[in-house]
Amino acid sequence: MSVSDEETIPLSIDEDSLTEMRPARAAKRQEQSKKKQTLLLIPLLLLLAVAAAYQLKLGPFSKSSGSKESQDAMPTSPKPTAAVISEHEKNVLNLDYPKLLASSRGSDMIHCESALILAWFYHEYEPLDACKKFLATPINSTGDNETRRFQFFRALFFSQNPRQAQMERFFTGTLTDPVKVMEEIISVARSQNNRAPVWSFLMGVLQMEKKDAKKAKEAFQLVNNTETSQAFGVTWFLARLGDESAMAAMNKSPEQALWKSLLQGFAYEEKNLNSFTFLAFPGEFPRIPVPEPAVLEKMGRRFRAINFAFSALAAWEGNQLDTANTLCDRAITEDELDKTVWGLCSRMRLFHGQLGKFSTTINLNQESPTILAWIVEGRKNPALSAWEELKKQDPAGSLVLAPLILMLSQADPEDLQTAVQAGLTADLPRTLEYLWTGLWQRPDLAPQVEKAVRAWMDEKKDESQLVKDFLGILSLVQALQAQDWKKMIQAGEGLKLKGSAMLEIDGLVMMARMMDTKDNQAVIWADSQFQRVSPGARSAAALMVILSMAGKVQEAHQILDKYQEIFREPLFYKAAAQLYLAGTRKDRLMRSRFFAEKAIKANAQDAEALFLIGFIQLESGQPESGEKTIVQAVQAMSQPVHAWFMRWSELESRLKRPQMALAAMDAGLRKSPDYGPFLFKKAQILATQNNPKEALRLLEKTKDAGIEEVQRYVLEGRCHVSLRQKREAEKSFSNAVKADNKNILARYLLGKTLLGNGALRPAIPHLQFVAEELEKALQDQRIPEEAAHWQTETVESMLAETCRLLGGAFKETGNRPMAIKYVKKYATLVPDGPMKDEALRLLLLLGGE
């Protein structure tokens, strides 16, 4: 306001004017007083409004989702009494499973803490539902004594890298360094109450997480120094750290005998950590019993699983593979996340070809077997993507697995050999174990693997028994590929593997014996193994082959039906395909092709599987496709397998395609020139195709080819019969009988030829021998072993013809009773029609009834 604006007070005022002004001034002063009072009330009203908003959680004090104060707040829980806290800390020190389980039933902090301990130590995750109230509460080192202990177990469980499903049940936030949080909690707690046993115990747990055994031992021993009685949790961890007094304490307690046996298993595992392999098992694994269900129930999920896994390993060493597999199945069902359980049982499954048991989704500790399962199933793109990710996570560890991945993914041979040598250098036992698995998926790569292993041996000067045994396995696999049964038997019998690994080798040796000589010992072995709950993939394949060849087709199908979803190896699939192909079921061709194509997934150039598919196509009326596939199979052979050419030729003959039967033998001779059995088979085909002269020419080349003399002379005699050279035929058949006078066909053909040459009396003994042997075969419902070499003859047709010939011979020599006897037999063997009418007429002429 300016000076000119100020009001001038008059020097004198008349009384009337003054009287008029007094009421106006009083009213103005009253109005000004009211305004001042109103202004003084405004702050008070604002303060009351703020207090009301805070109490009602309105406006800025509301619990909005974006409020950091709301998120950071610890949910309120009733303060436990001193007695409850004391009892709880005692349960923590004892890691008392039943009491902690009972204590986890609730929703307060102490209940959640018990649930966290169960999840951390016993891998019991269901009680984590007690932590729902604390999902959004940050993990930090603030709070009172009980809160910090609770936070310690939250950080401890977080450090175990729990699965997402478990995380969502106890914590929805993030934590960069759980070990640092635990260190801060321990530091604060120990500074306030350094002699509290529970914090010494937690210090020991923390040091074990940090893998500082010395400090962990000191912390646990400090608990024992302050407590009058030893707590189980302290004793357990000290014993795991090798403390002799803790082990002695466990020995004195009968209740802890089972826990002591687990410690023995852990000690064995740690001692043999760098040398353990199923190919060269260290041996002397402690016998760990499976306790009663009531005892198991008190051990918790994790330790039940570990008990099953250790018991499985003991059973495996004792050649009880069926028991071992069952126990490992139980162990993984209980707790597949435990490293000990997964480490033992996943390796055992993989070693015995049980890829079908692995999950088809990758989880925390299933990367390796799942990748392998995917590749075998033909899902190579996701498998190789997962493999690339695994290499980034564990570059050093991936060196061991790389050779197997490269074997299954059809990598360059040089890359494979480089990877094999790198893996052997990084971890010899584990690499060889993976290579064992790879060999059964890709046996055709055995020569490449052998080359790499021998190069590594020369470089490292390694002559260990483990490597020597592996070279023996490579020899066995290559002999199996070539179907060199004698070499396979020799290689298998030279191996002396420990535990159930030898059951796989024994099965393959028995299969080779059956294929080589139809050794009855193989059948006895198969009968003894048939009742096993769970064999390995290779012994299961051997079982199917042996049982099928022994005529026990139903038992062979039981093996297949039981394990076709578990064993995913070409050897097993090809045995299954051949089982169906050789059978009589209506769906035999469809099912046989199904299994052959599964084998092809592992190796598109699997010659054996291609042959099977080609045979199936031929039998299905697809000759062009069949021939094309078989040509592909022949081209895929690294070395000729003679048996497949023989089977091809026999199938073409059975399908009445003699020219293709000859073509099969010609294809075989191109691979193996002058191979005696091929020349002999070709001569057989030519003899039946009215080309006996060419057949005789080929037979001349087989004299020193290892062909059975009796078979060669029989074929030679047949050729002379076709050429009407009766005396030459008689000579050949006589030589056949000299070579094997028990041969039914040789005696039959000689007797028949002698009759044709007029030598009735010399013919009769040969034909009588034939009749007796064939009648025995019919009574026993068996087919003579030599029948595999017959052409058009069958037991029934040969017996009928023999009886007819004998009836005529005895009639001509005047022996009427014997003539009647054999003519009657002939009449009973032939069906109604001209032959039976002829027999009845001859019987009437002889005076028989």
Q: What is the DSSP string of 141-177?
A: S-S-HHHHHHHHHHHHHHTT---HHHHHHH--S--S-
In this prediction, residue 49 carries a pLDDT of 54
State the CB neighbour count (10 A cutoff) for residue 801: 18
Most confidently modeled range among 255-259, 462-466, 785-789? 462-466
Split at pLDDT 50, 70, 90, the class of 11 is very low
CA gap 756, 754 in Å, rounded: 5
**Three-state secondary structure call for residue 109:** helix
Label residue 77 by pLDDT band (50, 70, 90): confident
Which whole number is the average pLDDT over 797-801?
Answer: 92
Cα Rg for the chain, rounded, in angstroms?
Answer: 44
pLDDT score at 431: 95
The CA distance from 810 to 635, in Å, is 58
The proportion of the chain whose per-residue pLDDT surpasses 70, expressed as a percent, equals: 90
Model confidence pLDDT, tens digit, residues 386-412? 888 888 888 888 899 999 999 998 889
CATH number of 82-253: 1.25.40
CB neighbour list of residue 28: distance below 8 Å, 6 or more residues apart: none
Q: What is the pLDDT of residues 543-573, one digit of tens each?
A: 999 999 999 999 999 999 999 999 999 999 9
Confidence of residue 751 (pLDDT cuts 50, 70, 90): very high
pLDDT at residue number 716: 94
pLDDT of residue 533: 63
**pLDDT attached to residue 214:** 95
pLDDT confidence bin for 304, thresholds 50/70/90: very high
Residue 808: exposure state from Cβ atoms within 10 A (0-12, 13-18, ≥19): middle
665-720 pLDDT per residue, tens: 999 999 999 899 999 999 999 998 889 999 999 999 988 877 889 999 999 999 99
Report which DSSP code applies to 106. Answer: S
Token duo for residue 695: 């057949």
Q: Does the pLDDT of residue 102 top 60, yes or no?
A: yes
User: Measured between alpha carbons, how far is 663 from 62 in angstroms, rounded to an integer?
Assistant: 92
CA separation for the pair 672, 118 (Å, rounded): 69
Give the whole-angstrom CA distance, residue 678 versus residue 759. 36
- Residue 256 clears pLDDT 50, i.e. is over it: yes
Question: Three-state secondary structure along 107-125?
Answer: CCHHHHHHHHHHHHHHCCC
Task: Count other Cβ atoms within 10 Å, centred on residue 242.
Answer: 13
Question: What are the helix (H) ranges across 518-657?
Answer: 520-529, 537-549, 553-563, 570-581, 588-602, 607-619, 623-636, 642-654
User: Please, is 562 exposed, middle or buried when counting C-beta atoms within 10 Å of its C-beta (0-12, 13-18, 19+)?
Assistant: middle
At residue 359, the pLDDT reads 63
pTM, entire model:
0.81
List Cα–Cα distances, 320 to 285, 314, 532, 539, 568, in angstroms: 14, 9, 9, 13, 22
Q: Where are the domains of the chain?
A: 82-253, 254-351
* 653 Cβ neighbours under 8 A, 6+ residues apart: 661, 685
State how far the alpha carbon of 584 is from the alpha carbons of 85, 580, 588, 591, 649, in Å.
Answer: 74, 8, 7, 12, 20
- Please determine, for residue 763, whether its predicted confidence score (pLDDT) is greater than 50: yes
Mean pLDDT of the chain: 87
**Torsional sign, CA 662, 667, 672, 673:** positive
The more confidently predicted of residues 374 and 492 is 492
CA atoms 746, 748, 752, 755: torsion sign: positive
For the ranges 185-199, 284-298, 455-469, which has the lowest average pLDDT?
185-199
Q: Give the pLDDT confidence score for residue 181 in this predicted structure.
A: 93
What is the pLDDT, as a whole number, of residue 367?
Answer: 67
Tokens read off for 208 = 């074990």
CA distance 669 to 254: 74
Please check the confidence at residue 99 and state whether its pLDDT lies above 60.
Answer: yes
| Best CA proximity match to 616, nearest among 634, 636, 595 | 595
Give mean pLDDT, residues 286-301: 90
d(CA 840, CA 844): 6
Q: What's 424-445 look like in SS3? A: HHHCHHHHHHHHHHHHHHCHHH
Residue 364: pLDDT band (50, 70, 90) is very low
Predicted local distance difference test score (pLDDT) of residue 194:
61
Rounded Cα distance between 669 and 682, Å, is: 10
With CA atoms as reference, report the closest residue to 182 among 165, 207, 162: 207
Categorize the per-residue pLDDT at 329 as very low, low, confident or very high, splitting at 50, 70 and 90. very high
Among the residue ranges 251-260, 301-310, 687-696, 728-737, the one predicted with the least confidence is 251-260
Q: How far apart are alpha carbons 158 and 162 in whole angstroms?
A: 7
Tokens of 813: 């020599």
Q: Residue 185 pLDDT > 60, yes or no?
A: yes
pLDDT level of residue 4 (50, 70, 90 thresholds): very low
Closest among 592, 482, 610, 597 to 544, alpha carbons compared: 592
So what's the pLDDT on residue 396? 84
CA 84 vs CA 95, 110, 558, 754: distances in Å: 16, 10, 60, 108
461, 475 contact by CB (below 8 A): no
Position 46 pLDDT exceeds 70: no
Rounded Cα distance between 234 and 216, Å, is 10
Contact 717, 743 (CB under 8 A): no
Q: Is the pLDDT of residue 165 over 90?
A: no
pLDDT at 6 over 50: no
Instruction: Report the chain's terminal Cα–Cα distance, integer Å.
Output: 163
Cα-flanking dihedrals φ and ψ of residue 433, to 5°? Answer: -65, -40
3-state secondary structure of 231: coil
Residue 17 reports pLDDT greater than 50: no
pLDDT score at 5:
36
Q: What is the pLDDT of residue 360?
A: 56
- Rounded to an integer, what distance in angstroms lies between the CA atom of residue 158 and that of residue 167? 8
Q: What is the pLDDT of residue 36?
A: 52
User: Which pLDDT value is given to residue 848?
Assistant: 62
